Structure 1
Amino acid sequence: MIDPLVLRDDPDLVKRSQVARGHAPETVDAALAADRGRRAAISAFEELRAAQNAFGKTVAQAPKDEKAALVAEAKSLAERVKLAQQAVTGAEAVATEAMSRIENIVIDGVPAGGEDDFVELRRVGDIPIFDFPARDHLALGELVGAIDMERGAKVSGARFYFLRGVGARLEIALMNMALQKALAGGFTPMVVPTLVRPEIMRGTGFLGEHADEVYRLEADDLYLVGTSEVALAGYHKDEILDLSGGPLRYAGWSTCYRREAGSHGKDTRGIIRVHQFNKLEMFVYADPADAEAEHLRLLAWQEEMLQALGLSYRVIDIAAGDLGSSAARKYDVEAWVPTQGAYRELTSTSNCTTYQARRLDIRHRGEGGRTQPVATLNGTLATTRWIVALLETHQQADGSVIVPEALRPYLGLDVLEPLR
């Protein structure tokens, strides 16, 4: 949630953010009204509670012949206190619901608009040009024995796959290369749970508009995560962190699951858009004053990975209307996919400021020792989809694929050769 003080003191700022995201400004008015109702209910309850405490002393000190009447009055007052407490509970529920419709306040400079209104910040690397008919990643993956979509569908259905042989080795090599990059950046490696409780999923903002993308196990009331960001955000729930030594950085390695609802007919060939994949996710708890600088560091680590792998890419600043509810700013890094003649997202990094931390009650001690919410940030350092750009970018005329030099120590191969 956003800072309630910002909502009360600068509602116009919140309205501008909501409008930039494509939401009605009336959501802010509704949240303000609900907040006033909640505070009024609390005030009324506290006044009655104080009166009840004072009256209790009066009853205790009253002469014996007056106590019967006073006790009856005390019971009436107790009933009013009970009703006032119920009113507080109801008002808090209304306020929580109204506040949940207010998404994180976008950072100044984030472009307004929707999916197509991003701002391209830079392009890096030369787009590969081939003097032979280029094969797509699935054709290449089948040639070198790396990808088996047919048996994936037989076992699990559409958008599932097997990585086999050099395909499995390639993914593990990518993850290990990313892990070494993370370790050099001061990240603590984590293997995280992939099933989480509803309050953790809700606290990170994944049960909002895109809840239909999430798998839920109804019998257990647990959710399968679409990113280890969820588990890592919940790791320090209800804690006060020590950030005196700088940000706390974690690198979560996990399998991720997404329903891909609404993607019928999109990217049905190959492993670009699938239900299950592996990912190494960077997650950071930082002092809010350091969050924007940390965001740029995450982006730089992502770019260093793509450059080391010899991939051509661009960095885009995502428009407000295409941000998730928790993100105040997000950069996507899109790699060139030759057979599509387009840049496709390989990785992203988001600054969630204090939005998730307020929901999950994660704080640190700021100036004067007072506790305040931390900022949370996330960014992907490697994932299964990177195989798409790697195979297509480094393919050769005979169907072989040159392994980027930086990846060879992790894979143990210089070339992926077609099966004979």
Structure 2
Amino acid sequence: MIDLRVLRDAPDLVRASQLRRGADPSLVDSAVDLDARRRAALTDFERLRAEQKGLGKEVATASGEAKAELLGRAKALAEQVRTAQADAEAAAAELEEVVGRIGNVALDGVPAGGEDDFVVLREVGSPRDLAAEYGADFVPLDHLDLGERLRAIDTVRGAKVSGARFYYLTGVGARLELALLNAAMDAALAAGFTPMITPTLVKPEVMRGTGFLGEHADEVYRLEADDLYLVGTSEVALAGYHADEILDLSTGPQRYAGWSACYRREAGSYGKDTRGIIRVHQFHKVEMFSYTSVEDAEAEHERLLALEEQMLALAELPYRVIDTAAGDLGSSAARKFDCEAWLPSQQRYLELTSTSNCTTYQARRLGVRERTASGETRAVATLNGTLGTTRWIVAILENHQQADGSVRVPVGLRPYLGGLEVLPVVAPA
């Protein structure tokens, strides 16, 4: 939820952000009008309530006809109080609904536009010239072909048991995921993050508070019988961890790294990335999450990005960093950087990780505050970023493939695989 003071004092700023997002700017005008109506109704309610209290004191000391007259006035005033209170509550509910549809105010410098309007900030590393290494006729295998030769990925049995976009990681596939996620957790721990194994089912108010029940609600799995949601990222559970609390940030940000299974319906991706494990319904992830002061949020964002790039270097992947356009931020983020690794089989970049600065948007919804040096409380800023996830296996297999279909293990992951240097081809079962 955006700051209502910003909405009142700088509505043009919010309108401009909506336009950069490709969203409806008229929501800003509706919200401003509803806010004025709510405040006016609340003022009327408080005035009438004060008058009601004063009248109650007069009734207590009156007698005879005077008391009867005062009681009549008190009854009429009570009805006015109820009406004013109902008006204020109705305006507040309408305001909450409209404001909830307004995305976070995009920070200065965020590119305008949609999914294809990102800005490339840098490219790191060079894709391998596999033709030069293995001959002009060499055709890179994709991750599924490699995974099947390694007996690491089994999508056929995944579909048999659970349906499309499910899979098994077997043998070295399972070991590789565990290696990657353990390396990610070690990196987070070394950087001062508290490791967390988080719930994967959350209450509606937590899912709503993080901004995932807006325009992308159809991506979320819901258990109707229990009124709970399956998370698509441990960001949700980590954001809810300190809901309705006042944090002490006097010594710096509070940082957590959550390991969880994640679930996504992929409702809007029909026909897209259907092969292999690029876009699936269930996966594992290590997610960084920071609570910090507003003043430190942008520096913390750069810190999360640097940690993501550290992990990409450990996996020895060529990648680029992009500044995501406003229309592709999602409702909660004010700025988002994506890291995309090169995919040899498709000759394109594939998003592996992202980090978002959500400023105070989530914290306002969830009631997470800090106490300032002056003793006042205010909303904190929240940030998130992915350090490792199942999808990384796609890029690791393809970028480190060898001519015979085996895969070289990046040096940084070898300690997590018992020193294994090569994932060998396995004879068909």
What is the aligned partner in structure 2 of residue 15 from structure 1? 15
Equivalent of residue 313 in structure 1, options 316, 319, 332: 319
Q: What letter corresponds to residue 44 of structure 1 in structure 2?
A: D
**CA displacement at 1:62 relative to structure 2:** 1.2
Q: What letter corresponds to residue 203 of structure 1 in structure 2?
A: G
Q: What letter corresponds to residue 272 of structure 1 in structure 2?
A: I
**CA displacement at 1:344 relative to structure 2:** 0.4
Equivalent of residue 350 in structure 1, options 353, 356, 362: 356
Unmatched 5+ stretches in structure 2 = none
Between 1:379-388 and 1:128-137, the stretch displaced more is 128-137
Between the aligned partners of 1:148 and 1:372, the Cα distance in structure 2 is: 50
TM-score, normalisation: structure 2: 0.97
Between the aligned partners of 2:104 and 2:65, the Cα distance in structure 1 is: 61
Between the aligned partners of 1:171 and 1:120, the Cα distance in structure 2 is: 28
Between 1:162-171 and 1:132-141, the stretch displaced more is 132-141
What is the aligned partner in structure 1 of residue 114 from structure 2? 114
Q: What letter corresponds to residue 125 of structure 1 in structure 2?
A: G
What is the aligned partner in structure 2 of residue 80 from structure 1? 80
**CA displacement at 1:348 relative to structure 2:** 0.2
**CA displacement at 1:238 relative to structure 2:** 0.2
**CA displacement at 1:68 relative to structure 2:** 2.1
What is the aligned partner in structure 1 of residue 103 from structure 2? 103
Unmatched 5+ stretches in structure 1 = none
Q: What letter corresponds to residue 300 of structure 1 in structure 2?
A: A
Between 1:53-62 and 1:340-349, the stretch displaced more is 53-62
**Match status 1:232 vs 2:224:** no
What is the aligned partner in structure 2 of residue 395 from structure 1? 401
What are the within-5 Å matches in structure 2 for residues 2-401 of structure 1? 2-130=2-130, 131=134, 132-401=138-407
**Match status 1:419 vs 2:422:** no
Between the aligned partners of 1:61 and 1:84, the Cα distance in structure 2 is: 27
**CA displacement at 1:24 relative to structure 2:** 2.4
**CA displacement at 1:411 relative to structure 2:** 1.2
Q: What letter corresponds to residue 341 of structure 1 in structure 2?
A: Q
Return structure 1 stretches of 4+ with deviation > 2 angstroms. 63-66
Q: What letter corresponds to residue 421 of structure 2 in structure 1?
A: D
**CA displacement at 1:65 relative to structure 2:** 4.0
Q: What letter corresponds to residue 249 of structure 1 in structure 2?
A: R
TM-score, normalisation: structure 1: 0.99
Q: Secondary structure at the match of 1:207?
A: coil
Q: What letter corresponds to residue 252 of structure 1 in structure 2?
A: G
Between the aligned partners of 2:328 and 2:296, the Cα distance in structure 1 is: 24
| CA distances 1:58-99 after superposition (whole Å, capped 9, x unpaired) | 111113442122212211211211121111111111111121
Q: Secondary structure at the match of 2:345?
A: helix
What is the aligned partner in structure 1 of residue 410 from structure 2? 404
Between the aligned partners of 1:382 and 1:240, the Cα distance in structure 2 is: 30
* C-alpha RMSD of matched pairs (Å): 0.8
Between the aligned partners of 2:142 and 2:24, the Cα distance in structure 1 is: 43
User: Among the aligned pairs, what percent are the same residue?
Assistant: 68
Q: What letter corresponds to residue 23 of structure 1 in structure 2?
A: A
Between 1:359-368 and 1:343-352, the stretch displaced more is 359-368
Between the aligned partners of 1:107 and 1:65, the Cα distance in structure 2 is: 66
**CA displacement at 1:133 relative to structure 2:** 2.1
| CA distances 1:381-415 after superposition (whole Å, capped 9, x unpaired) | 00000000000000111111010010000111111
| CA distances 1:296-353 after superposition (whole Å, capped 9, x unpaired) | 0000000011011110000000000111100000000000010010000000000000
